[in-house]
Amino acid sequence: MQPIIEIRGLKKTYASGFQALKGVDLDIRRGEILALLGPNGAGKTTLISIVCGIVRATAGSVTVDGHDILRDWRAARSLIGLVPQELTTEAFESVWATVSFSRGLFGKPPNPVVIERILKDLSLWDKRDTKVMALSGGMKRRVLIAKALSHEPRILFLDEPTAGVDVELRRGMWEMIGRLRESGVTIILTTHYIEEAEEMADSIGVISGGRIVLVEQKAALMEKLGKRLLTLQLQNPLDAIPAELADFPLTLSEGGRELVYRFDTQNERTGIAGLLRKLGDHGINYTNLRTEESSLEEIFVSLVRERA
Amino acid sequence: MNLHAIKAIYIFELARTWRTLFQSIAGPVISTSLYFIVFGAAIGGRFASVEGVSYGAFLVPGLVMMSVLTESVSNASFGIYMPRYSGTIYELLSAPVSAFETVIGYVGAAATKSVILGTLILLTARLFVDFSIAHPFWMIAFLMLTSVTFSLLGFILGIWADGWEKLQIVPMLIVTPLAFLGGSFYSISMLPPFWQKITLFNPVVYLVSGFRWSFYGAADVPVALSLAITGLLLMICLAVVWWIFRTGYKLKN
């Protein structure tokens, strides 16, 4: 199936001379949740802003569902909803008015039924007549989401949707994003909360220094780059790794009370069975064992460091 | 053509007027009343008639023009500056809305407000002085043309300004003086010959003169010239707006 967004050779140099994007190629699959991870200043917001038409690219092209964002801008933009990073809202309007305004702006006829459903989904229905400035930060964030959804977009960009949002609300937002995905909306979110990407995303894109470092299915990424550790708690501490076990990548920790075995999840034969057999043969007894998987965060940090 | 967007912007902007109805309407109406009391009743009584009408009646078109000019500029500039200041402009920039549609929405709303305001001032003036309108069609045409032109100027100002100070300095330092010196309170034939010549460089003279002609059939400058200058101003403003959107000046990085 054709990707819903195709980005080719996208470059952006700001007037200050700062090169925010240094040639980005990216395909976003229809109906998936793509998490764009990257440190501050990596180019996440610039990338989103170009696709949404807020920033002009210096070079390169973007198509949205086959529509070029410059030549066929109306069709491209009609498909997109954007939730910006900053809490930028009108102050004096009611929630209802500001959300209805957004729907009109994106070329849709007024439809109170749709607005009502969106406000109810976001728990804003009770606040529909309240002025936006009287809302809490979390509610303002939801108003921004409601505005972005008001014209029933096929693609939703969420620029750091949960920055500064409390844990409970964050959970609620994740659920809402999950529901949107089920209804077929393609979602692109930027975040530096790895937890968020790990929880929700189908694909992970890592952007650093204006370049896409990688894009992978989340599961494949964790599989490919993940290291696992097997830790054995020994009955009797060891001073050194016995010569018989030199073939295995082992280290001692906790003053010799723990034996740590590092293995790659990519290998089909992890060697765990062989190691345990050898330990038994040499009379090294253990009282407990546990395995750990590296988290996305560790993967991310190692990736960004590699590029730096 | 994204008609829904034009409608949304227009309604949203006019809603701002309703919300601030008191400041938007009461302010200019009260100040007009004060002008009438001070210039019309207190001082005007000592003047002979100007160009065949009483000074009080002579004042009416000038005062309407002056309020329409300044309010158009300040209202339209505020309308577009506010979303830039608060950051909500991102939505407009990311929406499938063309420059033309944006301008119709914002400038249309500001001009509508000015026309309503001008009408209210006329009604208020009627309480103080008796006046007639010789050419109602041209009166409305001048009122609308001026409202649109100066709302466009306000729109440009709102995009150019990068602070509240700049937003206020242009009306204060340019629009108000031009309006005051543009013959709102006097006929330019009352000026010494030298200043009469200088005054002709002030575009407001032509607006006020043309507007006054639509009331009393008498004007400082030929009415065709008034119309031409007003049209020229409109064209200049349109060209600048067109350039702004083409280049993304102060709107897009």
Domains for chain A: give ranges and CATH numbers.
Answer: 5-223 (3.40.50.300), 227-294 (3.30.70)
> What is the per-residue pLDDT across B41-85, written as a single tens digit (0 to 9) for each?
777 667 767 777 888 888 889 889 988 998 899 889 998 998 888
Confidence class for position A306, pLDDT limits 50, 70, 90: low
pLDDT of residue B252 exceeding 70: no
For residues B92 and B251, give the distance between their C-alpha atoms in angstroms, rounded to a whole number. Answer: 10
Phi–psi pair at A206, nearest 5 degrees: -110, 125
Q: Do B5 and A15 touch (CB under 8 A)?
A: no
Confidence class for position A282, pLDDT limits 50, 70, 90: confident
Residue B252 lies in a domain: no
Residue B101 with chain A: CB contacts under 8 Å: none
CB A109 within 8 A of CB A100: no
Residue B147 lies in a domain: yes
Q: ipTM strictly over 0.90? A: no
Residue B29 lies in a domain: yes
pLDDT of residue B171 exceeding 80: yes
For residues B134 and B69, give the distance between their C-alpha atoms in angstroms, rounded to a whole number. Answer: 22
> What is the per-residue pLDDT across B129-163, written as a single tens digit (0 to 9) for each?
888 888 999 999 999 999 999 999 999 999 888 88
pLDDT of residue B96 exceeding 80: yes
Q: Considering its fold, how many domains does chain B have in total?
A: 1
Nearest to B95 among A14, A77, A110 (CB): A77
Residue B253 lies in a domain: no
Residue B203 lies in a domain: yes
Residues 92-131 of A with CB under 8 A from B: 92-93, 97, 100-110
Structure tokens at B16: 């701002």
Residue in B with minimal Cα distance to A91: B86
Range of the domain at B92: 3-247
Nearest to B4 among A82, A91, A108 (CB): A108
pTM: 0.82
